[in-house]
Structure 1
């Protein structure tokens, strides 16, 4: 009986150690997407998407891997959270801004820190904040815009999709970034969205027998659009993961 007891303790400790190391892995997932709606005169658009950084520092191995092949960096919310030193958040912004122009959408945990101090960091590192607005990333020779559209945090009722889409033309190619994947419930075919980028769920963070408290990160494909939900890079509450590895994404978009 004692033997079984100590064996269970050892197995438990080993599992916790394994979960800790999983939570600190560094993965870049390469994703190539093609769309008929993407302007044929534009060769490609490459996006580095990272969400849910929380307490982590973006590893230099990731920065070195992507910095020569990225057009823009998109932070999909939860860059930080309460009790994360401002210096750590600044280091992340300094590293990401070396890669390409940075765009940011608010996540629920970002509101736990001093907003004014965070905005000063964004100004210092030329980070563009998207909340219920769009920016034009590129324009084709056919005068078709490639839009990055940010939608505010749904859980705080800061989302305003009609406002975000108000200047979008029917012929544009549109990418929405929203921290909360529930944004998909507000989008209709007439909105003409080709790709949604979200995080928030951490992939469930700890999944037992494939089950977890959140939707696992994946590319979910629908008849008229794709929805990338990322497992995210960091963790919340416990620095542990199981069955939902941390991830970042290098997305290349081309005409089909």
Structure 2
């Protein structure tokens, strides 16, 4: 192969890597609206959802664009990973907490920085760790309840424990880090399901990727979100699966 050809190939490869690196530093703020089926009409919560932050810094620009205040700010796991400084973890949490009441579920990488650190940082920001727990977001004609489980990597997912305080007629927003937990719900059928973990495959060639691309679906009064996530893992590169966070505006519509 001629030197000019080699140089051209290397230049193209370098440009491709530079583009994927730049893509990983961007983040789309997606806005969604959806109605769930309930026993009565009613307003619902405005939610900010972000997952898979990993090593990334939550930018002031993202917080400014998101606006708020929100009824719930949900961190859908993988807030951090091994090697992320405590100062960055705490700064990210405090920035997100400025948008509204903070709720968090464990990801598969979070405990690498120490469970005590994560619990302390969430608590110091006034947040709540939903490890097989629930929290009432809004009461009224329709009671909106947030339900979250531990991550599958902990071997501690307990769906029955998480749902123990849910009543008949509640509008349930279910949060897990991995969408695989959706398959563990059994007879439970929450109105809203949210997860991250997959990064949308992170690097995709057209329709093809290691994992399914993120999605938002609203159909027949049920809502499902699987986010591409905000950060990256293994390599700081993205292609075809943009980094994202989400604003979800929910309401209840009588069956």
TM range (shorter): over 0.9
SS of the aligned residue for 1:191 comes to coil
1:116-157, Cα deviation, whole Å (9 max, x unpaired): 1222212211110001111111111x4x42100001112332
SS of the aligned residue for 1:22 comes to helix
TM score, norm. by length of structure 1: 0.93
1:32-55, Cα deviation, whole Å (9 max, x unpaired): 0111227523x2310000000001
1:2 pairs with 2:3: yes
Give the aligned partner of residue 234 of structure 2: 237
CA contact (8 A) 2:21 2:238 kept: yes
TM score, norm. by length of structure 2: 0.94
Give the aligned partner of residue 134 of structure 1: 134
Whole-angstrom distance in 1 between the partners of 2:219 and 2:41: 22
RMSD: 1.6
Q: Matches of residues 185-196 of structure 1 in structure 2 within 5 Å?
A: 185-188=183-186, 190-196=187-193
Q: 2:143 aligns with which of 136, 142, 145?
A: 145
SS of the aligned residue for 1:57 comes to coil
Q: Matches of residues 18-167 of structure 1 in structure 2 within 5 Å?
A: 18-37=19-38, 39-41=40-42, 43-140=43-140, 142=141, 144-167=142-165
Give the gaps of 5 or more residues in structure 1.
none
1:205-233, Cα deviation, whole Å (9 max, x unpaired): 11123211112101145656322000000
Higher strand proportion: 2
Give the gaps of 5 or more residues in structure 2.
none
Whole-angstrom distance in 2 between the partners of 1:246 and 1:133: 28
